[in-house]
Every structure is written in C-alpha cells, then in structure tokens.
Amino acid sequence: MDCSSAVAIGDLVFMSPLADNTAITATNNLTPEPILGIVTGKPTTVKCLVLVRGVIPTALARGKSFVGTDGKMSLTAPLTGYVQHFGISLGNGTLVLKPEIARVKRAT
C-alpha cells in the first residue's frame, strides 16, 4: 500500500478515507475507519506491506486483542472511542490476526 514515510513496521493502520490504497497509522481508536491490519514491511519509504490476516509475533499474554486508545494492540477493551476486536493472542508469543471490520463506538 502507499503510505507516508512516518509509517513504521509494527504500526496498526487503517485505509485513508481520501486516497485509494493508502495506509495511515492509527495513533488512537477514535477514527471512524476500522483498523485494517499491521505493517510487516517497508520496501520503500512511501510503500508498506500490510498483513490483514495471519499469524504474527506478539508480547501480549493470552486473550482477545483489541485496538487500544493509543492505537496499539491491547488485551483490554477500551472504555472510550471505538471498540474493535483485532485477534487472539495464544500466550506463546503468537497472535492470530483477524481484525473485525464491525466496531462499536462507546457512548461519551
């Protein structure tokens, strides 16, 4: 996908609402666009490889993974912003990545 030079390997990304095939790093869980996947490579400074389903290494303990309020993976569902299930950590250093597109916005 296309991306800015600031996008880094390991970032959770969503699709730009303005440009086709363009990934934007999630810095929180407040954007209406769902998290699409995780950046696994940067062949150039403005291109990134995004894994949308699969198995990735993780330091998370066992449990369901959500997109946290900081835009990173978390085992705790956020109390504000959008709640999006992201995958399941097996507790052995791996996470089954399966982002759900359907998300719920917490009432404020």
pLDDT digits (tens, 9 = 90+) for 62-101: 999 999 999 999 999 999 999 999 999 999 999 999 999 8
Give the separation between CA 68 and CA 94, rounded to whole angstroms. 18
**Mean pLDDT over residues 6-33, rounded?**
96
**Residue among 74, 70, 78 at smallest CA distance from 86:** 74
Task: Determine the pLDDT at residue 108.
Answer: 67
86: left (phi over 0), alpha (psi -120 to 50) or beta: alpha
Domain boundaries, the chain: 2-51, 54-105
Q: Looking at residue 56, what is its pLDDT?
A: 94
Higher pLDDT, 103 or 19: 19
pLDDT tens-digit series, residues 24-61:
999 999 999 999 999 999 999 999 999 999 999 999 99
Number of Cβ within a 10 Å radius of residue 52? 12
